[in-house]
Structure 1
Amino acid sequence: MMETMKKTENNPLLEQLQQPDIQAVLVSLLQNLPRFEKNLEAMGNIASFGQAVLQNKQSMQKYDELVRSYNINLETLEALVGLLEKLPKLLKQVEQLENFIDFTTAILADQQTIDYATSSIKSYTEPFLKKGQQGFSLVKEIQQQVQATTKPLKLFTIMKWLKDPNVQQSLKFVQATLTVLNKKAD
């Protein structure tokens, strides 16, 4: 036994082979050898096919015609490299766009969400619509009053209106507007 230990100490290869993890790797390698052989054979077949295509003048002529049909120059190659450099950023943008489209599609497919959005929009716009309708009805009522009145306006009637606080406020507003506009014009 002492002799075996001395042989092991002197031979580093035998020391390596006695390690369990090395033994496990070797067993796995031996088990996979048939698969490795098939893969090497397939690569050899591909290489043989490539050589046959390169030696076939007719195939090479078609390939040459195809390459010549494209306008590939230095500028085109630089643009291609630039585009390849930007692909990660473009991919992020496309993914964001895709997420937005998926989100929008999901919303449009969900009737409950559409109803909620419609009611929310309606609650915001309803006060403005009511004010607009009130303003429209006020204008309509004023037009009807103007058409119904046939009496001509008199100077004393206008003077009486000047005492009304609403007319006074409106005239002050007109006066202030004219003052500001005159200052801006100078």
Structure 2
Amino acid sequence: MSQTTQQAAEEVASTSAVASQQPDVLDQLMKPEIQQSLNVLVENLPKLAEMTTVLTKTYDLVQTVANDHVLINDLKGGMEEFVKPIQDKAKGIAQAAIEASDRSQAETSTTVGLFGLLKMLKDPQVQKALRFAQAFLEVTAERQQQQK
């Protein structure tokens, strides 16, 4: 019997709590800015429904893609195939730069004179580097002229 009395008291308390909240909600609804906001919401309901539909479809697609391990592995493999050649080339350039730095530091006793420089000018790699440097300087000069 005491349990039913206690349950009844709890129901009365929850009902009175709801009743005490209702005037607050009604008071809020009577404010002009709340009414204006509700009018804006009602006017934009079709747009909001459309946006909700698009967001739901997007969410479903993302969930499907995120849980598709085959697709994830395929994308990962494709990216690795794309990045690997670039990574290998960058490693090769970095290794060549380190080796060149080591060689230049080891040969501190030799100086490059005029005849050594003329001999170096016959090297195809030097010619290629000089052509690149010349083309690079021409391009930068043209861009500076366009900016003026």
TM-score range, shorter chain: 0.5 to 0.7
**Partner AA of 2:106 in structure 1:** A
1:74 aligns with one of 9, 18, 32: 32
Figure out how many residues of one structure are paired with residues of the other and give that number: 127
Instruction: Flag the structure with larger Rg.
Output: 1
Bigger relative contact order (CA 8 A; separation at least 6): 2
Partner amino acid, structure 1, of 2:63 = T
Counterpart CA distance in 1 for 2:61 and 2:128 is 54
Secondary structure in 2 matching 1:152: coil
1:135 maps to which residue? 93
Q: Which residue of 2 aligns with 1:160?
A: 119
**Per-residue deviation, residues 147-177 of structure 1 (Å, max 9, x unmatched):** 2222122232223334443254145325524
TM normalised by structure 2 equals: 0.65
1:169 and 2:128 aligned = no
> Identity, % of aligned pairs?
19
Deviations along 1:14-68, one digit per CA (max 9) or x if unpaired, are xxxxxxxxxxxxxxxxxxxxxxxxxxxxxxxxxxxxxxxxxxxxxx997545533
2: CA distance between counterparts of 1:77 and 1:113?
49
| Correspondence for 1:83 among 35, 41, 60 | 41
CA drift at 1:134 = 2.0
Measured at CA, do residues 93 and 63 of structure 1 come closer, stay the same or move farther in structure 2, by a change above 3 Å?
A: closer
Q: Which moved more, 1:108-117 or 1:160-169?
A: 160-169
**Amino acid in structure 1 at the alignment position of 2:142:** V
* Distance 1:167-1:134 versus aligned 2 partners, 3 A rule: closer
Alignment of 1:98-109 (within 5 A): 98-109=56-67
CA deviation vs aligned residue, 1:86-143 (integer Å, no higher than 9, x gap): 1221222222222222222222222212111111121222222222222222222222
Which amino acid in structure 2 is aligned with residue 169 of structure 1? R
Calculate the aligned-residue CA RMSD, in Å: 3.1
Contact 1:162-1:168 within 8 A present in 2 as well: no
Distance 2:96 2:143 in 1: 29
Unpaired runs of at least 5, structure 1 = 1-59
Residue identity in the other structure for 1:100: T
Relative to structure 1, the CA distance from residue 182 to residue 160 in structure 2 (aligned partners, 3 Å threshold; closer, same or farther) is: farther
- 2:79 & 2:38 partners in 1: Cα distance? 47
